A and B are shown apart, each in its own frame.
Chain A
Amino acid sequence: MVDRKLKIANKNFKSRLIVGTGKYRNFRECSNAIKVSGADIVTVAVRRVNISDKNKARLMDYIDPKKITYLPNTAGCFNAEDAIRTLRLAREIGGWKLVKLEVLGDKKNLFPEMIETLRSTELLTKEGFKVMVYCNDDPLMAKRLENAGAVAIMPLAAPIGSGLGIQNKVNIKIIRQQTKLPLIIDAGIGQASDASIAMELGCDGVLINTAIAKAKNPIQMAEAMKLAVISGRKSFLSGRIKPNLFGSASTTNKGII
């Protein structure tokens, strides 16, 4: 069975794994991990140019935005105004309209501030941005984001960088049932099996940064995540057996001696 491609805002992508570019030891390692992961979308952040050390390596020298889709984020923004300012700057750098909105509400748990997130989604959509929205795993808020014009719903599995895996499978399943928008798990993945579970729940993709970048062997983990996403997707599409409380022998009793 040939799977349809991941389609976001009318654009097709080869991979269902999106990777972040933060927290790597250096740009070379980051670039290698992206290659091995097979991802064709990477998240990036907008920050000040270092004006006192101009020779410092730059992300764009290592990851070619013509080959890999840059998905600018609003990391570090705590209100709609800051998020919009950041994404306008991102658009100015290179014309990006597909963006990842992330408006945080708490510095410790990094949970999204959903009122500001919703307001930002409305405002950015009106400005012509295609907004992929980092959100909590609340089906009601997910619906409101969809109505506000989001092009992808990206609920957390667990707090950003926590590696705790999917904490609320039920809510993810409910969101899956109610939306036709791309549903991408963003944040909280710890190991490959977490990514597989996300895909088995019917998600369209997974966004991973810390679990790859901070693994002891990031390049190998990038490959593990790639395979886990493919594996989970195939498992989902194949139609799993019904869970049964009792055993069912794999070998027939017919001809038993």
Chain B
Amino acid sequence: MKVKNKIKITVNGKQIQVISNFSMKRLMAKLKIPLNKIAIELNKKIIDKKRISKIYLQKGDKIEIVHFIGGG
């Protein structure tokens, strides 16, 4: 059986492994994060949430997923 290639990425400071050819949309589904009320940054660039199915993750990508919390 052929083993699928895996790549390492960092999401919110945590390293995780996904298979290659993994889209940002699949990542969000895997993490079970609803897309409203959040923003996504890929390698310090904000990405358009409407385009996440077209963005494929690369080895070493750094992703930040943020939302609002209490603050002064």
Taken together as a complex, chains A and B put the C-alpha atoms of A52 and B47 apart, in Å, by 22
Q: Which of A52, A89, A90, A160 is the one whose CB lies under 8 Å from B72?
A: A160
23 A–B pairs (Cβ distance < 8 Å), ordered by A: A21-B71, A23-B72, A44-B68, A44-B70, A45-B68, A45-B69, A46-B68, A46-B69, A47-B67, A47-B68, A48-B12, A48-B65, A52-B14, A59-B67, A60-B68, A73-B71, A88-B46, A89-B41, A90-B39, A93-B39, A93-B67, A160-B72, A210-B72
Q: Tell whether A75 is near chain B: CB-to-CB under 8 Å.
A: yes
Question: For chain A, what secondary structure do more than half of its interface residues adopt (helix, strand, loop), or is it mixed?
Answer: mixed
In this complex, how many residues of chain B approach chain A with their Cβ under 8 Å: the count is 23
17 new A-B contacts, CB < 8 A, other than A23-B72, A51-B12, are: A20-B72, A22-B72, A24-B70, A30-B70, A43-B72, A44-B71, A47-B69, A49-B65, A51-B65, A60-B67, A60-B68, A72-B68, A85-B44, A90-B39, A92-B46, A93-B37, A94-B37
- Compute the total of residue contacts between A and B using a CB distance below 8 Å: 99
**Cβ < 8 Å to A, chain B residues 29-63:** 31-33, 37-41, 44, 46
